[in-house]
Chains A and B, each alone.
Chain A
Amino acid sequence: MVDIEELKSQFLNQDFDSKEFKLDPDRIVTVAKASGETRPEFTDPQHPEFQAPPAFLCSLASGRHLPIDFPSLGGIPMDGGKAVTIHKPIHAGQTVIGRTHLHDIYDKKGRSGRMILVVARMELFDTDDNHLASADSRMVIREREAS
């Protein structure tokens, strides 16, 4: 059985990925409208407050979710959920840097065995290093039974 505390001490809060993004207004509009969005801040690139909706920010965090040396725990990680915290609006055309670390590791026990949940957090910054938003990806991994 994997020692969760050991995993946490080894892997939490260390950046393992960094990416630069420039948000495309057409893609923001498509995502917003497909989601049922009607507010011009999200659907009209000419609006002075035009910005990316939370779901679009989540999509930026779709790259590498685990450090390269993270141990295999058994099954394929499943997407257990996403969360976004917005500190400042992120506008189209703005250059944004996303840095990813593991924010939490915990387990849940059920009838079918233990599930390990790993939360990867991408923190989004502008080019002046102001923290704009965070996007969490929660991966669920069914632990492989010891043979």
Chain B
Amino acid sequence: MSEAVINTIADVEFGAELPTFTPDTSLDTVREFANAVGWGGGGRFSDHDKARKEGLPGALVPGIMGMGFLTSTIHQWCPAAQVVHIDTVFRAPMLADEPCFIGAVVTDIDEDAGLVEIDMTLRNSADETRVFGTAQVRLPV
């Protein structure tokens, strides 16, 4: 995993893994996120019992919160990075109160355009991919 300081595109190495953090998937934080985006009603993202009554295995982490974990990883990796595009596929639900792990690797570098492509995943503790995606990120040249 690359711990080097990334300030410009010249600092980026193809195949480098981004340093990651442990996302907070606690029910309280998931509920805060869901309320802030207007999805707090109904319990799907805020209450395990209500979610189970809907036939779900428990309260879910919203897919876009997973996208938030991925963009935060990019922003922490390079303080000057701007996410130009991010595309995430919600392969399977992530559950609140269950840990998840971020993976991110540089898969393309366009030094002239100042653009980097990063493949990203969110996996659960069983090492199953729940969310995957690709980000295109602009860095200073």
Contacts and interface: CB of A to CB of B under 8 A. Distances in A.
B67 A82 contact: yes
Interface in A5-39: 26-27, 30-32, 34-39
A24 to B, nearest CB: 9
Given A34-B65, A56-B37, A58-B67, A42 B85 contact: no
B63 A79 contact: yes
A130 interface: no
A83 B134 CA distance: 9
A27 B78 CA distance: 24
Contacts of B69: 35-36
Contacts of B84: 85-86
Contacts of A86: 82-85
A62 B68 contact: no
Question: Residue among B24, B68, B89 with the most chain A CB within 10 A?
Answer: B68
Nearest to B22: A36
B56 interface: no
A82 B134 CA distance: 11
B33 A81 contact: no
Contacts of B39: 59, 62
B79 interface: yes
Contact of A84 (B63, B75, B86, B90): B86
Interface in A119-137: 136
Nearest to B89: A81
A79 B131 CA distance: 12
A67 B69 CA distance: 31
A54 interface: yes
Contact of B63 (A36, A54, A81): A81
A98 interface: no
B115 to A, nearest CB: 13
B89 A35 contact: no
A37 B75 CA distance: 8
A86 B75 CA distance: 15
Nearest to B65: A35
B99 interface: no
Contact of B33 (A34, A39, A62, A138): A34
B37 A32 contact: no
A37 B68 contact: yes
Given A42-B75, A53-B68, A83-B85, A27 B37 contact: yes
Q: Which 8 A-B pairs have the closest CB atoms?
A: A35-B68, A59-B37, A55-B68, A83-B87, A30-B36, A36-B72, A34-B33, A81-B89
20 contacts: A30-B32, A32-B72, A34-B32, A34-B33, A35-B65, A36-B23, A36-B69, A36-B76, A38-B76, A53-B68, A53-B72, A58-B64, A59-B37, A80-B89, A81-B89, A81-B90, A81-B133, A84-B86, A85-B85, A138-B89
